[in-house]
Structure 1
């Protein structure tokens, strides 16, 4: 199998990814709790879940009192989200790289959970996030940690230049199904430069630990994640 676009890949393994995301160490005990912690008290806030997948983060934000709208490029993932969230959930199929189908100043927060690293050029997407956010609104984003990218490559082949942007493809198992996804690496300074150029002020850069209860649930994998970050988290304010 060659490289696949995110929409083709997620359409192909939507069922397996949805099942994995529910209970996995990386999602259920690491990325999602960290994103929700950065979001804090969201009661009454209008939130855009950009790249919502099958909707677990949408559901968690809604349970905390937020008014949530979600979109994803993969129609198969949006269908999973509809089954989870109900027919009345505000869900759409839309491409993160295209102009967003929302009005200016429509949201208090945008949550972009593990999606920006699929894009070569962040500028148009960040400009759209800024447009749909109210002034003072927040962008909460998580991405592959650039240091982890280099650690992976050091184990599997020649180490690339950290300071360059480049694509890399990861292969992993999801409930017995092999998935291949291609990501864009960016050094940390390129990420922060893109955020500030788009009109965001960086409030928090976070490298959290997994949830402590994951130690007993995932004894073989917990230690690495607890001592070396896989994801990098940002909380940003729209100026």
Structure 2
């Protein structure tokens, strides 16, 4: 079985991603808020999937390039963005086909938690950023693994999987857990300075029917953690 087989369930995942609570009304608005004004900025969307974040960035005036390791997701991104969009198949675990210092910002939306080793991927993302450029990223909150698997060691690097239903299609996603200090240590080692860490609320325009009953009276929930890093 292929791990994280986005070629197999990409279309269903994309349909779910466009409308659901976690992506459409929580993660993506939070990424856009952290990025702020991107007008005229050169942005690389690493692990762009079917392109919803890239489309939102382009609508805000950014010059966007995207890549994903899944050919199916890249095809979906081209359908969304247009055939002339700068989107290609590339793997974050390998050298990227982009020049040194070619981007003002890089986004990595729910990407790094699929990778066991962050050393080479972070080095590549630092390489393609200009000095002072930003890497804005989101990953599974490290507390989530311990909450779902209380018997485990929070401080150990560990692989874990969860089952999902994407628009009626069953899927399994496999992640790598690492504690918070291991994340920030990896950022520093790659040449980034931590500018911000965020645990944001869901978007205020979230339809009430998407919120589970137990969220009543709250504005936030534990799911992802967000970082803004500056290339030094």
Q: TM-score, normalised by structure 1?
A: 0.93
Task: Map residues 108-187 of structure 1 onto 2, 5 A cutoff.
Answer: 108-154=104-150, 159-187=151-179
SS in 2 for 1:65: coil
Check the 8 A contact 2:196/2:229 in 1, yes or no: yes
SS in 2 for 1:110: strand
Check the 8 A contact 1:209/1:229 in 2, yes or no: no
Q: Point out the structure with the larger helix share.
A: 1
Check the 8 A contact 2:46/2:66 in 1, yes or no: yes
Distance 1:95 1:221, change over 3 A: farther
Check the 8 A contact 1:214/1:222 in 2, yes or no: no
By how many angstroms is 1:222 displaced? Answer: 7.0
Paired residue total = 231
Q: Deviations over 1:162-183 (max 9, x none)?
A: 0000000010111111100110
By how many angstroms is 1:103 displaced? Answer: 0.5
Task: Map residues 68-79 of structure 1 onto 2, 5 A cutoff.
Answer: 68-79=64-75
- Structure 2: stretches of 5+ with no match in the other structure: none
Q: Choose which of 94, 97, 102 in structure 2 pairs with 1:106.
A: 102
What's 1:46 paired with? Answer: 42
Matched, 1:57 2:38: no
Check the 8 A contact 1:208/1:229 in 2, yes or no: no
What's 1:237 paired with? Answer: 230
By how many angstroms is 1:214 displaced? Answer: 2.2
Q: Choose which of 185, 189, 197 in structure 2 pairs with 1:197.
A: 189
By how many angstroms is 1:88 displaced? Answer: 1.0
Distance 1:227 1:56, change over 3 A: closer
Check the 8 A contact 1:215/1:222 in 2, yes or no: no
SS in 2 for 1:160: coil
Q: TM-score, normalised by structure 2?
A: 0.96
Structural RMSD (CA): 1.4
Matched, 1:94 2:90: yes
* Separation (CA, whole Å) in 1 of partners of 2:195 and 2:112: 18
By how many angstroms is 1:219 displaced? Answer: 3.3
- Structure 1: stretches of 5+ with no match in the other structure: none
Check the 8 A contact 2:202/2:220 in 1, yes or no: no
